[in-house]
Chain A
Amino acid sequence: MDQSRTTVGANGRVAGFRAHIFGSIARQKLFAFASLILLMVFFGFASPAFMQVDNLLGILQSTAVNGVLAIACTFVIITGGIDLSVGTLMTFCAVMAGVFLTYWQLPLWTGVLAALATGAVSGTLSGTFVAKLKLPPFIATLGMMLVNKGLALVVAGDKPIYFNDTDSFSLISQGSVIGNILPSLPIPNSVVILFALAIAASALLNRTALGRYTFALGSNEEAVRLSGVNVDRWKVTIYMLAGAICGVAGLLIASRLNSAQPALGQGYELEAIAAVVIGGTSLSGGTGTVLGTIIGAFIMSVLTNGLRILSVAQEWQIVVTGVIIILAVYIDNLRRKRS
């Protein structure tokens, strides 16, 4: 505990709760954040193109999808579970939006709702398999990963669904509400959505019963159950929430590509999990922050972007990313052990 930040009250207990919480979270994230800055400084010096506004905006935009998926994973991973279905679920949600908007020519909001609802239903199924059927989360979500992938292909019939009839659809991701107000800051909506979602998710984790039980489940599920808490219901809710967040990711990626690509999606789950883990959330559950996850997602995309600018061959980019994940988690472990 940081003694200088806290004051011991007359009754021997420590006051200054806010300072304590803020301090500990700040310290926990310091390492991840410092690595992000370091990476950016490195690429900035290595190539003048890196620090160009366009490139930085590109990084922001390319982080949006993975960042949102990573937020979904953060919830599940804090409960001590894992969600392998987020990548293909994102695609399935995008396809369902396409069904509503392109196949059925319904208004934009129905497409948005369809994506979110598809995510929520799929998440509810995963959660039910985990909570009620007592399947290991790895297996339950592995199964759902394939189910979502297959359903997306079944529904879309192997080819992309284009959103050419709904003009405003592409604005979800590519428009810039901020840019309209402040032309000098053309931050795309997808980035705004990512940050808004991050803030909401963070509030959810830290200020609501849902969040408290998310941590508690990861910390000691049996103790929570024996406290008379309806553990199954909370678990299903958490997976459902994660699914709905995948719906958001589905909208973002479909909007950016102006199409739902049914063959896309597999592999995204691993990138999302990597972002969560780089951000300091423990795979064994009980600890984690959304802020860390966001930083983790940015580390991943800065790395990809920077290596591309330095003209590193794509094959080697993948290798480097893998090495960075291993290093990041190893260093984080060391740091944890010391503290």
Chain B
Amino acid sequence: MAPLISVQDVSKSFPGVRALSRVRFELLAGEVHALVGENGAGKSTLMKILAGIYARDSGEVLYNGEPVSFASPRAAQMRGIGIIHQELQLMNHLTVAQNIFIGREPRGRLGIFLDEDRLNRQARDILAHMHLNLDPRAIVGGLTVAKQQMVEIAKALSFNSRVLIMDEPTAALNNAEIAELFKIIRELKARGVGIVYISHKMDELKEISDRVTVLRDGEYIATVPTATTSMDNIIGMMVGRTLLDVPRPAEQAARDEILLEVRKLNCGPLVRDVSFTLRRGEILGFAGLMGAGRTEVARAIFGADKAQSGEIMVRGTKATIKTPADAVALGIGYLSEDRKRFGLATGMDVESNIVMATLARHLAFGFFLRRRGIRATVESFIRLLNIRTPSATQEVRLLSGGNQQKIVVAKWLARDCDILFFDEPTRGIDIGAKAEIHKLLRSLAGQGKAIVMISSELPEILGMSDRIIVMCEGRTTGDLAWQEATQERIMQLATQRETAKAA
């Protein structure tokens, strides 16, 4: 069978970076082809070339056996190549149907007015085809992330796409939603659609993909059948070295001193009577499904959202935290799950971001920046955390996710925070950098920091936490020592709804 897409020796450079170097890739009809590699390996660049977002510098792309070169995403889409970005590109104020047919709205007989009925009918057909129970007139902003993703897929399918590129489609989905997504992928596959699947999650690749292509540092490494290749093998090809698990420290320091105690905290529907304690030197894992209220707990404690009631004790004394500034003054730092929105000024340089919370310390006469001091501090953090950046003045948006995350960590370390909330610290970060972040968390705990780690990845929760709090629908449903925690036990607690508990 002739491949649907065949990429031959494609190269692409950006100023200062060789993003792709003579890369090969092949996609068959009805195949789910996983594309893996560390961040910066060139996956996204390659896919953006296929989808007409970037132009290649050299090499050839064959689509249905004929050489193609798409001038725009629109052109690629019209020929049947659709891409679903990690960050969904939907208009939140419009309806499902309006989103699906944006730019192609059916019109009435005069060609002036839009034919809303026909629009909704066509959208309903597509959704029915996907076996999706979704009202075309629903406002997209009110849907769950999973449903929004389905809308994106429906949109791509409405172009009769023969190729669908999915960039980390499960990043924001819970297990039930992932199962639903996989069902749709399998149906598309059965209809002969070729799917390129980019993901960092190895277990997903194992479940859904037929073949895996590995890229590393912009170069093609190998294409292997998923069924007969071990995941360790694939990870080995991605990083070019074997990965060490983060070992638990053999001897654990006495963890008596309670740094943070939260009592009966309430904040909106997703934080209800939450109580827990956090000791010096421990990593407290917060497990739960998407929307269980873990992020909301962190934000309420940090003063980012206003709590309705509850007590917060920091180092044994009652604290009043009304704004993030109050929390920071008490040595509490919060690393958001959404770095770009809440953690970084991505248009500014590495240096500005690292000293964002500590600028007051680098002032002469309380006013002028001591630039040499700032530079020295920033350089020392770049070394300490092994941040890979060409310089301290590099714009943060140009760095990889892992390095961006380290910059946020550096910001809080610079502030001497000893209570740190890490919200999904390794989301969207490649495996090599992930292990580094894990080691970093361990060493921070070893130095006597108290860490709350919110994570949706059970292996991460189980591997890293000393204690685990499980949340469901705004309540804490479990508090486990790591020795007694298992995936099954956590999942059970994470799905323990209020009614079930009462029964």
Contact = CB atoms under 8 A, between A and B. Distances in A.
Given A209-B363, A219-B346, A287-B347, A17 B352 contact: no
A219 B328 contact: no
Given A1-B15, A209-B360, A230 B392 contact: no
A58 to B, nearest CB: 37
B387 to A, nearest CB: 10
A222 B389 contact: no
A207 B371 contact: yes
Interface in A230-250: 230
Contacts of B371: 207
Contact of B357 (A8, A21, A215, A227): A227
A13 B411 contact: no
Q: Which applies to chain A's interface (DSSP): helix, strand, loop or mixed?
A: helix
Interface string B319-331: 0000111011100
B179 interface: no
Contacts of A13: 379, 382, 389-392
Interface centre among A1, A13, A208, A224 (most CB of B within 10 A): A13
Contact of A14 (B334, B342, B357, B390): B390
A234 B346 CA distance: 20
Given A17-B392, A208-B367, A226 B345 contact: no
A21 B393 contact: yes
A20 B393 contact: yes
Interface string A199-216: 000000001111011011
Contacts of A209: 359-360, 363, 367, 369
B348 interface: yes
B344 interface: yes
Interface in A272-293: 286-287
B345 A229 contact: no
A168 interface: no
Interface in B15-59: 15-16
A335 interface: no
Contacts of B302: 226
Contact of A212 (B323, B327, B359, B375): B359
B415 interface: yes
B345 A224 contact: yes
B77 interface: no
A205 to B, nearest CB: 11
B356 A230 contact: no
Given A17-B392, A227-B357, A228-B328, A219 B16 contact: no
Interface in A155-201: none
Contacts of A14: 390-391, 393
A225 interface: yes
A241 B69 CA distance: 53
A229 B393 contact: no
A39 interface: no
B313 interface: no
Contacts of A213: 359
Interface residues of B, number: 41
B390 A227 contact: no
B368 interface: yes
A223 interface: yes
Given A216-B352, A219-B345, A228 B357 contact: yes
Nearest to B330: A228
A226 B359 contact: no
Interface in A1-23: 1, 3, 6, 8, 11-15, 17, 20-21
Given A219-B346, A230-B323, A1 B16 contact: yes
B363 A225 contact: no
A226 B391 contact: no
Contact of A222 (B328, B341, B390, B393): B341
A186 B346 CA distance: 47
Interface string B378-405: 0100110000011111000000000000
A14 to B, nearest CB: 4
B304 interface: yes
Contacts of B415: 228
A110 interface: no
Nearest to B329: A228
A226 B334 contact: yes
B329 A226 contact: no
A213 B392 CA distance: 18
B345 A223 contact: yes
B320 to A, nearest CB: 15
A35 interface: no
Nearest to A215: B348
Interface centre among A220, A225, A230 (most CB of B within 10 A): A220
A224 B382 contact: no
B343 interface: yes
B426 interface: no
Interface centre among B328, B345, B368, B390 (most CB of A within 10 A): B345
B336 interface: yes
A14 B375 CA distance: 12
Contacts of B352: 212, 215-216
A227 B327 CA distance: 10
B345 A228 contact: no
Contacts of B327: 228
B420 to A, nearest CB: 13
B328 A227 contact: yes
Contacts of A12: 390
Interface of B: 15-16, 302, 304, 323-325, 327-329, 334, 336, 341-348, 352, 356-357, 359-360, 363, 367-369, 371, 375, 379, 382-383, 389-393, 411, 415
Given A226-B342, A228-B357, 8 more contacts: A3-B16, A13-B391, A13-B392, A215-B345, A215-B352, A216-B345, A219-B345, A222-B342
Give 7 closest A-B pairs by Cβ, nearest first: A228-B328, A219-B345, A14-B391, A227-B357, A220-B345, A227-B356, A219-B347
13 contacts: A3-B16, A6-B391, A13-B382, A14-B390, A14-B393, A207-B371, A208-B368, A208-B369, A220-B347, A223-B345, A226-B334, A226-B336, A286-B348
